[in-house]
């Protein structure tokens, strides 16, 4: 790739290594520090993104002033230095554009540009070039969590333009990309508004506001029939009837006589024990997931593979915005021993029971988008009574009310948040009449479909902006963004001067160790 880069740059440029234009390249401390409640900020990869202000809240840690003084003896981030990730997500950089003193963790690398050779802004732009993204991954170790060795990062190529041209490139990039960034900011703001809009219609749906006009019209026409309370009683009767039929079938199969009082062994489902702070319409009722469900199962913990000839396994990542995303599927063999028990059926509700707090409770409904299909162990599949729409339950769990419930019942274990099946079964949800459920889901589906279409257009715009940014950077570092001036000092001359200065500094350094012994 170096030959390719060298062949694409102007004659007045030079292709060098990152170490040639930096006085120091190092990384953060390899030891977990002694965190404090306050003090000097200690930052990680989570705090930085290219060309964005440092997100102090993404990873908020502090260390003592004394420990900071020890750490900066080896690694001292200063204004104009370049931070780049070495572990995990690779291929980008962030210039230190703040004056606050910080220390950094091992996952971050630190490059100190030689200001007489390269402008920090120029180097920041280059280290966000698609070439660096590709090379960082190629030079990294590991197959899952990639690690870019420090010595390899020092070898990253840098197309070095004359210093005066670097200034022109930075000024032009600032101008062009600021306009592009403004457009991206607007698109992301629209994304946030769409997310808020979806939450607002989920809230309206599960508290009855979405169909308030429908109820008024039905009442005027005298068409209101079964209430939520009526529906609940019917569901509970059907639930008991199913249990009794199952017991009768079991005893018949075993050719046994039913014991006296066998019906008294029926376990009543959990009843609502708290309110969700909803003011429900008078025709609605409240029920627990246990009351409206037929079965609840945990998914498979078996190791999956990439063989698309097998049975797809839905995972937490396949639940996005209350819908199933069938990209990036994993598979189990068709003859897997847990089948057919762990094959999903149409209408099964999938609930993510464990992960980080913000991801626990992600819920969607399987509608035979791909069949046969299974699901992973950190998902719970709930089969509901035919009289209750699973999409309504999904909407409730994904709404602000569902999120508040999860926050109240979640437990934390070794960095993982958990909501088990028992807690899910005890969740109290609104119970509209069956025909109103149908009307709610029809209206909700129309509005969500329109919002997701708009979201797809926004995501397309963001992808186009990202592609445009890459093309602009490619043009800039191929010498096509600004003109070359014949009076600019060539990069080769500048490099020779820098190398001579380095050599002089090395030669002027005093030798260490004992003085040579002299003899009389």
Q: Which domains does the chain have, with CATH numbers?
A: 2-162 (3.90.220.20), 226-432 (3.90.220.20)
Tell me the C-alpha distance between 520 and 515, whole Å: 15
Q: What share of the chain is helix, strand, coil (3-state, %, to 5)?
A: 45, 20, 40
- Structure confidence at residue 507 (pLDDT): 67
Tell me the C-alpha distance between 218 and 420, whole Å: 39
Tell me the C-alpha distance between 17 and 33, whole Å: 32
Closest C-alpha to 90, from 148, 48, 157 = 148
Query: Element (H or E) spanning 405, and its range?
Result: helix 400-409
Cα separations (Å) of 79 from 108, 120, 234, 264? 16, 9, 70, 76
- Structure confidence at residue 519 (pLDDT): 38
Q: Which residue has the tokens 């319409």?
A: 281
Tens digits of residue pLDDT in 382-395: 999 999 999 999 99
Query: Element (H or E) spanning 439, and its range?
Result: helix 434-476
Dihedral through CA 412, CA 414, CA 415, CA 419, nearest 10?
-30
Residues 52/124, Cβ–Cβ less than 8 Å: no
Angle between helix 434-476 and helix 212-221 axes, rounded to 10 deg: 160
- Structure confidence at residue 517 (pLDDT): 40
Helix, strand counts (H, E) of the chain: 14, 23
* 241-272 core/surface letters (b: 16 or more CB in 10 A; e: else): eeeeeeeeeeeeeeeeeeeeeeeeeeeebbeb
DSSP string, 352-392: E-EESTTTTT-EEE--SSSSS-EEBTTEEEEEEPTTS-HHH
Distance of alpha carbon 422 from the chain centroid: 28
Cα separations (Å) of 414 from 256, 377, 411? 49, 18, 10
Instruction: Collect contacts of 56-65 with beta carbons under 8 A, ≥24 apart.
Output: 61/33, 61/35, 62/35, 62/36, 62/37, 62/38, 63/33, 63/34, 63/35, 63/36, 63/39, 63/103, 64/34, 64/36, 64/39, 64/40, 65/39, 65/40
DSSP code of 490? P
Closest C-alpha to 379, from 402, 361, 401, 404 = 361
Closest C-alpha to 380, from 389, 392, 370, 393 = 393
Residues 96/79, Cβ–Cβ less than 8 Å: yes
Give the burial class of 73: count Cβ atoms within 10 A of its Cβ; 0-12 exposed, 13-18 middle, 19 or more buried.
Answer: exposed
Tell me the C-alpha distance between 345 and 361, whole Å: 20
Tell me the C-alpha distance between 366 and 177, whole Å: 42
Tell me how long the chain is: 520
Residues of the chain under the 50 pLDDT cut: 511-520
Residues 132/126, Cβ–Cβ less than 8 Å: yes
Distance of alpha carbon 66 from the chain centroid: 35
Q: Judging by DSSP bridges, how do beta strands 416-418 and 354-355 pair with one another?
A: antiparallel
Cα separations (Å) of 14 from 162, 284, 420? 9, 74, 60
Q: Which tokens is 513 given?
A: 């160790």
Q: Judging by DSSP bridges, how do beta strands 108-113 and 157-160 pair with one another?
A: unpaired
- Structure confidence at residue 372 (pLDDT): 96
Closest C-alpha to 362, from 343, 377, 348, 378 = 378
**Cβ-based neighbour number of residue 498 at 10 Å:** 17
Query: Element (H or E) spanning 417, and its range?
Result: strand 416-418
Closest C-alpha to 232, from 204, 266, 271 = 271
């Amino acid at each position: 790739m170096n030959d390719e880069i060298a062949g694409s740059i102007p004659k007045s440029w030079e292709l060098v290594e990152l170490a040639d234009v930096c006085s120091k390249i190092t990384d953060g401390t390899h030891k977990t520090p002694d965190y404090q409640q306050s003090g000097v900020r200690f930052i990680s990869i989570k705090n930085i993104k290219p060309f964005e202000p440092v997100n102090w809240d993404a990873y908020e840690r502090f260390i003592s002033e004394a420990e900071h003084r020890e750490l900066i003896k080896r690694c001292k981030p200063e204004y104009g230095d370049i931070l780049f990730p070495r572990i995990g997500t690779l291929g980008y950089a962030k210039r230190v554009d703040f004056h606050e003193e910080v220390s950094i963790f091992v996952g971050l690398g630190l490059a100190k540009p030689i200001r007489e050779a390269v402008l920090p802004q120029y180097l920041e732009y280059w280290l966000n070039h698609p070439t660096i993204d590709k090379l960082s991954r190629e030079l990294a170790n590991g197959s899952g969590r990639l690690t870019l060795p420090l010595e390899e990062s020092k070898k990253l190529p840098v197309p070095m333009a004359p210093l005066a041209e670097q200034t022109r490139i930075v000024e032009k990039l600032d101008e062009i990309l600021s306009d592009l960034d403004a457009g991206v900011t607007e698109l992301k703001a629209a994304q946030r508004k769409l997310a808020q809009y979806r939450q607002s219609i989920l809230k309206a749906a599960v508290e009855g506001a979405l169909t308030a006009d429908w109820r008024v019209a039905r009442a005027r026409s005298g068409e209101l029939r079964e209430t939520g309370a009526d529906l609940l009683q019917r569901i509970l009767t059907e639930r008991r009837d199913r249990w009794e039929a199952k017991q009768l079938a079991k005893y018949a199969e075993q050719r046994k006589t039913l014991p006296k009082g066998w019906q008294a062994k029926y376990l009543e489902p959990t009843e609502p024990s708290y309110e969700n702070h909803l003011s429900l319409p008078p025709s609605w009722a409240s029920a627990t997931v246990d009351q409206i469900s037929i079965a609840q199962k945990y998914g498979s913990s078996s190791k999956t593979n990439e063989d698309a000839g097998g049975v797809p396994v839905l995972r937490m990542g396949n639940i996005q915005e209350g819908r199933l995303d069938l990209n990036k599927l994993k598979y189990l063999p068709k003859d897997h021993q847990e089948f057919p028990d762990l094959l999903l059926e149409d209408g099964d509700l999938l609930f993510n029971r464990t992960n980080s707090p913000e991801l626990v409770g992600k819920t969607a409904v399987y509608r035979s988008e791909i069949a046969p299909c299974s699901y992973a162990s950190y998902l719970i599949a709930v089969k509901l009574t035919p009289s209750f729409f699973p999409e309504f339950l999904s909407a409730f769990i994904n709404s602000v009310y569902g999120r508040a419930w999860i926050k109240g019942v979640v437990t934390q274990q070794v960095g993982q948040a958990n909501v088990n099946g028992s807690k899910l079964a005890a969740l109290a949800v609104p119970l509209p009449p069956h025909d109103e459920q149908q009307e709610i889901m029809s209206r909700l589906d129309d509005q969500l479909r329109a919002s997701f279409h708009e979201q797809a257009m926004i995501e397309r715009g963001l992808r186009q902006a990202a592609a445009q940014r890459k093309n602009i950077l490619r043009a800039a570092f191929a010498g096509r963004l600004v003109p070359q001036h014949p009076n600019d000092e060539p990069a080769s001359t500048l490099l020779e001067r820098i190398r001579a200065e380095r050599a002089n500094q090395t030669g002027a350094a005093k030798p260490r160790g004992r003085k040579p012994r002299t003899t009389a």
